[in-house]
């Protein structure tokens, strides 16, 4: 039998933001224990909302840099 190696998923900016926000909200331990599917809809929505806010702030920052 031949063992196949799983390709390591390339971590995207959204993945990094998702984990960062989860850590800020104190949900990282829960995610490690039960996985992303174990979160409530409220928790998931809060993470998504905060990611959106952070992305908008990052976009504004980039636009400011372009103006200078």
Tokens matching residue 24: 């800020």
5-23 pLDDT, tens digit per residue, is 767 778 898 899 999 999 9
Average pLDDT over residues 55-59: 94
Cα angle 44, 53, 45 (rounded to 5 degrees) comes to 15
Distances (CA, A) of 60 to 31, 41, 52, 66: 30, 29, 12, 10
Average predicted confidence (pLDDT) for the chain: 90
Q: Please tell me whether the overall predicted TM-score, pTM, comes out greater than 0.75 for this model.
A: yes
Residue 68 pLDDT: 73
Q: What is residue 7's predicted lDDT score, i.e. its pLDDT?
A: 72
């Amino acid at each position: 039998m031949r063992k196949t190696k799983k390709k390591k998923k390339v971590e995207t900016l959204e993945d990094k933001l998702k984990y960062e926000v989860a850590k800020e909200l104190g949900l990282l331990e829960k995610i490690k224990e039960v996985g992303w599917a174990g979160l409530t809809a409220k928790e998931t929505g809060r993470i998504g909302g905060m990611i959106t806010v952070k992305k908008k702030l990052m976009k504004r920052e980039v636009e400011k840099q372009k103006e200078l």
